[in-house]
Amino acid sequence: MKIIELDGHSLTCAQVIEICRGAEITLSPEAEKAVTRAARVVSKKVADGEVVYGVTTGFGNNADKLLPDPEKARMLQRNLLITHAVGVGKPLDETIVRALMAIRINTLIQGHSGIRLTTVRKLAQMLNAGVLPWIPEKGSVGASGDLAPLSHMAMVLIGGGQAYYKGKLIPGAQAMKAAGIEPVNLAHKEGLALNNGTALMLAYGVLTLHHMGNMVKLADIAAAMTMEGLAGRADALRAEIHELRHHPGQMATAENLRRLVKGSDLVDIPYEEIPKSLGGWTWNREMDRIEGGKAFKPQDSYCVRCVPQVHGAVKDTLQHVQQVMTREMNAVTDNPIVLPRGDEGEGDVISAGNFHGMPLALALSFLKTAIPTLASISERRANKLVDPATSDGLPPFLVRNDDNTDSGFMIVQYTSASLVNDLASRAMPASVYSIPTSANQEDHVSMGATEGRHVYAMLDDLRRVLALEIYTAGQAIDIRTKTLDGTFWGHDDWLNDVPETDRKRLKTHADEVRARAHKSSPAVAAVMAALRENVDYMDTDREMAPDITAVLELSKGSKLVEIAEQVIGPLALASPLGAD
């Protein structure tokens, strides 16, 4: 079992993902000293009878209420948790809970929270033992941090609430006993230290980044397949074009596409070699040239030509969001914040606003608009493949349709359009809708947890859109190669519609085209092989639901990305994402 040492200052997105997958944590000696130093400051303030928000006073709008004695102050911390653990909705999945706990521990050990070392160690024990609190997904407004979710986490620490242990949901006290962990009797400020912070919205952000790092690569693969299916042009991918604009994601995407289509006989194929799938070639007397299915124009549609600019912008968005997330997971997000001076309990306890989730909320809002953008351009590429007016010679809806009764891939595009609309309708930022809380004491909040929940939930539909494009592009590639080698027709009846004076010339041209190789690039061929292992080429209409199920399963995780990368090496992002 891998063990990751937390020091409060160097946690990465990649390490959080490892913890989500089961890695255990340990606390650095320096961090443990910092925790003890801050706890002494709180103890001294209480002993000296000083007025400290949330320690010797009430919370929120009750901040002007002084507590009569130290025991009342200790009870306040427990009451804080039991009255704030009021979330609703489905429980968070295990990976989110593990990320949330690790992130909160990393904040607490920086030595500005005033929590005791024994309490932090118990929380780490819970994580390592797999005592995972039951935390409802809804209830946080993102300031003062993720109060309700983190209170549910802390309830198990004090022997309350519910927790998952060895796959079962049981009372928190029972889970702690089974794991051999004694519940905590809270000291001064410890309730506040446990539930004041941005751990939930940050957990959502880190896990979304991890999955998006794979999906932008999958999107590049889908685009490369569509380029082949459309017999697209590669000039727009030239490195010097993208270097003129300087955006890292754009340059990375163009490089990915160049590598993905390298060696393809379909990309940049001469115009006159591409027949109409249902009509072969014609002789254009006026232009004195043979014409087929590909229009004689030097540029492709935006959804193909501008893939580097669009996919690249999404990659740059991921890079920005990762920078925000990495800063936050190594930040102090408490209130009040303890500022020790030395090791003897001297220092200040300052009430400020580091719990406010707006830095994360706005970053997540940015990501929230990037997801439907990536889905939208994918759907447009898939639509171009099924539309005979735009597919450069492919048959309507990608089937032979000899008797005009086949629908082919028509409704696959409908499904994709539905998913894109759903994603777009969810892209409105939650961060712009603050609703005051705590009797207007907390009168501007971030809604960052809502934003995080939204983007995390949107990932599945994005993956589905990309999978449907791959499914559609795979059919188009097969038709394109079958058309070029003549097997799509099976005969040359199309020549009957050609003037007799042109017939011999066009028949000779057809024979010459068929004699040449028309294969996919090595990378696309590898992905196509995986696709065809799961889904057969569709000659005529058949039940497509099993195909869709198989393609969606194939698109999960990083299977297809790994297949392509085994051929051409790692696909590039704007710069390496720690979560990837």
Residue 351 tokens, joined: 């009430």
| Nearest residue to 200 (alpha-carbon basis) of 105, 103, 113 | 103
Would you give the end-to-end CA distance of the chain in angstroms? Answer: 20
| Catalytic-role residue among 53, 164, 204, 471 | 53
Domain ranges of the chain: 3-197, 206-335+355-434+456-568
| Euclidean distance between CA atoms 475 and 382, whole angstroms | 11
Which of 1.20.140.10, 3.20.20.70, 1.20.200.10, 2.102.10.10 is the CATH number of 206-335+355-434+456-568? Answer: 1.20.200.10
Catalytic residue list contains 53: yes
| Euclidean distance between CA atoms 535 and 551, whole angstroms | 7
What count of other Cβ atoms lies within 10 Å of the Cβ of residue 320? 14
Please, is 425 exposed, middle or buried when counting C-beta atoms within 10 Å of its C-beta (0-12, 13-18, 19+)? Answer: exposed
| Euclidean distance between CA atoms 171 and 173, whole angstroms | 6
Residue pLDDT tens, the chain, 580 long: 799 999 999 999 999 999 999 999 999 999 999 999 999 999 998 888 788 877 877 766 677 777 767 677 778 889 999 999 999 999 999 999 999 999 999 999 999 999 999 999 999 999 999 999 999 999 999 888 899 999 999 999 999 999 999 999 999 999 999 999 999 999 989 999 999 999 999 999 999 999 999 999 999 999 999 999 999 999 999 999 999 999 999 999 999 999 999 999 999 999 999 998 878 899 998 889 999 988 888 889 999 999 999 999 999 999 999 999 999 999 999 989 999 998 989 999 998 999 999 999 999 999 999 999 999 999 999 999 999 999 999 999 999 887 778 899 999 999 999 999 999 999 999 888 888 888 777 778 888 999 999 999 999 999 999 999 999 999 999 999 999 988 887 667 888 888 988 999 999 999 999 999 899 999 999 999 999 999 999 999 999 999 999 999 999 999 999 999 999 999 998 644 433 3
Strands 347-350 and 337-340: antiparallel
| Nearest residue to 303 (alpha-carbon basis) of 241, 245, 226 | 226
Which of 1.10.15.40, 1.10.275.10, 1.20.1600.10, 3.30.470.30 is the CATH number of 3-197? Answer: 1.10.275.10
